[in-house]
Amino acid sequence: MPEPGWYPDPGGRSGHYRFWDGQHWGLSTTPDLPGQPPSDGGPPSPRRSRGTRWILAATAAAVVLVLVAVGALVLRERSRPTAAPTARPSASAPAGGTTPPARGGPVRPSASPSAVPSGEAGPTASPTPGSSPSAGSGPCLFGSPYSRQDYPRDGRVHGGNLSFPLPRGWVYPGRQTDSFTWAYDVGEADVQVQQQWYSAYAVGAVSVADGFEDPETAAELMMTCTLASPLYRHVTSRTDLTSSETTVDGYRAWTLRSEVRADDDRTTFEGDTVQVTVVDLDSPEALAFFWGCAPIGDAGLTEQLDEVADRLRVG
């Protein structure tokens, strides 16, 4: 497991660093490493004294004399006749060539996060089961859904400083939390509607540094991540029903609701109605979100999704 520390941002922000705590990436990035001089330059260097300048000049003169003497010796040696060189046997390679390191094995970063040696890499976002992320996988894999804040036990599900009422008969914590690989501080509840199919609601946070820059952009990006997540297999279509500016407790928000159809052998439903509501809580680092789904054609669960979304609350 890579050591905790600051590493170049895996999200690709040039000149920015993100903290790795040993298990998860931090929510925000910084252009300046703690303990290092600011990027805009530190205080000016002290002026050298006249004595120091004389010492430097004398040292430089001595170096020049040494270089002249060495050059004369080299020229003298080159003038001597030399024997023809004999071939040196090369070291034989092992049979079968060089054995590469085990694929997928951990790569240990440098102890100094600000200088990762060539050929080594800092920690990468943890993959979800069945996926093969790479450095270019995008923000859908940069989150840490199980990194939780402390919230009251008040009959509501909390995350990202948003909350919704826990429906009767629903399971909390739910069974879909690890699917929200792009999010932080996720509170998720769900109910089983078929043997391998669930209706689920979640609240949490997304990082501005990961590309979730404003509510509208974040809602679209979250929907894209949803379609690529383990929540759905073999998505065949997405039909947007609503995409508009809204409010939650007086805060600016954006709501995107879509019908997601999939050729998924885990259910007999066509797919789900999925709602994403992203809320700007005036934080420069993160946005809050609500995510909910109900099977297409299930009027009762679709109505419940409407009711829960209407009862979202900040805090």
pLDDT of residue 32: 73
State the Rg of the chain over Cα: 29
CA–CA separation, 165 vs 311, rounded Å? 7
Q: Is residue 117 part of a domain?
A: no
Is the pLDDT score of 185 beyond 50? yes
Tokens, residue 49: 């004294």
Region label for 103, one of left (φ > 0), alpha (ψ between -120 and 50) or beta (otherwise):
beta
Q: pLDDT, tens digit, for every residue of 219-237?
A: 999 999 999 999 999 999 9
Could you give the 3-state DSSP secondary structure of residue 295? strand
Q: Is residue 155 part of a domain?
A: yes
Nearest to 221 by CA among 140, 130, 312: 140
pLDDT of residue 153: 94
Task: Note whether 155 and 301 are same-domain residues.
Answer: yes
pLDDT of residue 58: 56
Full residue range of the structural domain in which residue 193 is found:
139-314
Task: Note whether 284 and 147 are same-domain residues.
Answer: yes
Cβ within 8 Å of residue 126, ≥6 positions away: 23, 24, 141
Task: Note whether 15 and 153 are same-domain residues.
Answer: no
Query: Higher-confidence residue: 37 or 158?
Result: 158
Is the pLDDT score of 44 beyond 90? no
- Residue 1's pLDDT band, with cuts at 50, 70 and 90, is low
Average pLDDT score over residue span 246-269: 98
Nearest to 264 by CA among 274, 272, 254, 276: 272
pLDDT of residue 146: 94
Q: What are phi and psi of 124, to 5 degrees?
A: -110, 160
pLDDT of residue 4: 82
Is the pLDDT score of 125 beyond 80? no
Of the listed ranges 36-40, 89-93, 263-267, 307-311, the one predicted with least confidence = 89-93
- Residue 156's pLDDT band, with cuts at 50, 70 and 90, is very high
End-to-end Cα spacing for the chain:
35
Average pLDDT score over residue span 54-70: 54
pLDDT of residue 36: 65
Query: Higher-confidence residue: 94 or 153?
Result: 153
* Residue type for position 187: G
Q: Is residue 86 part of a domain?
A: no
Is the pLDDT score of 134 beyond 70? no
Tokens, residue 299: 């009027």
How many separate domains does the chain show?
2
CATH number of the domain within which 246 lies: 3.40.1000.10
Query: Higher-confidence residue: 13 or 4?
Result: 4
Task: Note whether 304 and 157 are same-domain residues.
Answer: yes
Cβ within 8 Å of residue 262, ≥6 positions away: 232, 233, 234, 235, 236, 270, 271
CA–CA separation, 232 vs 66, rounded Å? 73
Task: Note whether 300 and 161 are same-domain residues.
Answer: yes
Tokens, residue 114: 């600000």
pLDDT of residue 291: 99
pLDDT of residue 180: 97
- Residue 152's pLDDT band, with cuts at 50, 70 and 90, is very high
Where are any strands of DSSP class E within the chain?
Answer: 5-8, 17-20, 25-30, 156-159, 162-165, 184-194, 197-207, 235-248, 251-262, 271-279, 286-295, 313-314
Q: Is residue 83 part of a domain?
A: no
Task: Note whether 6 and 143 are same-domain residues.
Answer: no
Q: Is residue 41 part of a domain?
A: no
pLDDT of residue 104: 30
Q: Is residue 107 part of a domain?
A: no
Q: Is residue 106 part of a domain?
A: no
Pairing of strands 286-295, 313-314: unpaired
Q: Is residue 132 part of a domain?
A: no
